[in-house]
Amino acid sequence: MNFDVFVIGGGSGGVRASRKLAAAGLKVGLAEEYRLGGTCVIRGCVPKKLFVYASEFSATFQDAVGFGWPEVSSNHRYQLLKRAKDKEIARLESLYDGLLERHGVITFASRAKLLDKNTIQCGNETIAAKHIIIATGGTPFIPPIPGNEHLQSSNEVFEWDNLPDRIAIIGGGYIAIEFAQIFLGLGASTSLIFRTAPLLRGFDDDIRVSVTETAKSRGLDMKNTTVEEITKKADGLHLKLKTGETLIVDAVVAATGRSANTSNLGLDKAGVTLGKRGEIIVDKQSKTNVDGIYAVGDCTARMELTPVAIREANELVSHILGGPSNPVDYDSVPTAVFCQPPAAAVGMTEQDCVKKGIDFTVYQAKFRPMKNTLAGRDEKALLKLIVETKGEKVLGIHMHGPDAPEIIQSLAVAITAGLTKKSLDDTIALHPSTAEEFVLMSTPRS
């Protein structure tokens, strides 16, 4: 079989690239060995957010009492959530399938491997393609701890039929804190074991502290240490911690980062250069060192976020079709952590500015959102602006508090358009809201 373009991987990047290229009239094939939709749709962002919604109700029930509602005493029925989640994910998967079919992409439900720079083995088919796009995503990294055969990853968590009573999560990044608060909210006794405090390395330090303190105040058992060994015994999994303590749980989840999914793809046969962590090295247009072979998304480990993979795919499509270039600006990518309450950010952190020797001013507000007053919830929202002192260009916006992802998404538009502090000052507040504080900050932090 001959194709103009063959895409390996049916996740966010691969689906976007293949359907746009097919819509432009090219003959496009796509191989996906698991399920169309990739990590984001099948076992990442989408089911995770559904689980976040489910787990938030327990705090909402508590808050409702202060607003005059009777106390709710109810146990979550995990199987019902799992069934509903599976149904919704299957619906989305079939939408992807239909989308590809409508655009004329020929899909192959099998693993594909490169035989050389223009030939792919896909199941029993040998395929020739002028262009090959690798969009194989990432895979959970499992740390080399003795007993790590007992570790599960986010992949398995989404397949659990029952919620274990006692769960430990290892890690201090996005997935660790999101899952920890999901499990806690759904009623499991949950411990988070993280080696670097505060949580969320890479985020602004004030946000990190706020997320860490809030998680603790919401009842998450937090252990700033490492796991030395995992042993299975009759009463559960015994986690030997560096502190000398032993933690006994029913399930341990490793949320210790992800690696590029690039092994056993025949990339060596095609001569594609990989980085130290197995990631595919590409340029701004996602071209590898081999003419005609490209890579987008998590397998390139540039920024492991769905919307970034999609933008990389758009840029690559434009390149292949000879269209205008609009490379991804990795400096203004908004991101959110769906912890509870969520955190979100766009642009530089205070620590980035210090490292780069930028002269900057910080505006910061920390206050109790109105809903927390009657709820009796002693939690504050944190809002922070980093502004370049000369010219007052806004370099970074950071928030931890209710609706942070929704608020930061809008502010990311402004940052992308060159937002200044004056524009924020000129903007009339929307009252009463938490976000209005972003246009009301008049005094720099001392």
Interface residue list for ligand NDP (CB under 6 A): 143, 170-176, 178, 194-196, 201, 226, 255-258, 304-305, 335-338
Nearer to ligand NDP, 47 or 396 (CB): 47
Nearer to ligand NDP, 288 or 335 (CB): 335
Residue of 227, 251, 223 whose CA lies nearest to 239: 227
Distance CA 313, CA 10 (A): 12
Could you say which DSSP state residue 54 is in? H
Distance CA 189, CA 215 (A): 14
Could you say which DSSP state residue 287 is in? B
Query: Pairing between strand 258-260 and 138-140?
Result: antiparallel
The arrangement of strands across the sheet holding 246-249 comes to: 227-233, 236-241, 246-249
Nearer to ligand NDP, 6 or 194 (CB): 194
Nearer to ligand NDP, 5 or 182 (CB): 182
Active-site residues, by number, are 431
Q: From start to end of 171-235, where are the E strands? A: 189-193, 221-223, 227-233
Kindly state the smallest distance separating residue 415's Cβ from ligand NDP, in Å. 18
Distance CA 157, CA 110 (A): 24
Nearer to ligand NDP, 169 or 387 (CB): 169
Residue 113 bridge partners (DSSP): 121
Nearer to ligand NDP, 236 or 257 (CB): 257
Nearer to ligand NDP, 183 or 338 (CB): 338
If phi over 0 gives left and psi between -120 and 50 gives alpha, with beta otherwise, what is residue 97?
Answer: alpha
Query: Pairing between strand 236-241 and 227-233?
Result: antiparallel
Nearer to ligand NDP, 107 or 340 (CB): 340
Kindly state the smallest distance separating residue 83's Cβ from ligand NDP, in Å. 23
Kindly state the smallest distance separating residue 163's Cβ from ligand NDP, in Å. 20
Report which residue's Cβ sits closest to ligand NDP.
Answer: 173
Kindly state the smallest distance separating residue 12's Cβ from ligand NDP, in Å. 12
Distance CA 78, CA 54 (A): 9
Task: Give residue 94's Cα distance to chain centre.
Answer: 23
Kindly state the smallest distance separating residue 44's Cβ from ligand NDP, in Å. 7
Handedness of CA 193, 198, 201, 203 (dihedral sign): positive
Spatial neighbors of 284 by CB under 8 A, at least 6 apart, are 315, 325, 327, 328
Kindly state the smallest distance separating residue 257's Cβ from ligand NDP, in Å. 4
Distance CA 337, CA 29 (A): 34
- For 340-367, b/e burial (b = at least 16 CB within 10 A) is bbbbbbbbbbbebbeeeeeebbbbbbee
Kindly state the smallest distance separating residue 332's Cβ from ligand NDP, in Å. 16
Residues 115/289, Cβ–Cβ less than 8 Å: no
Distance CA 126, CA 105 (A): 17
Kindly state the smallest distance separating residue 201's Cβ from ligand NDP, in Å. 4
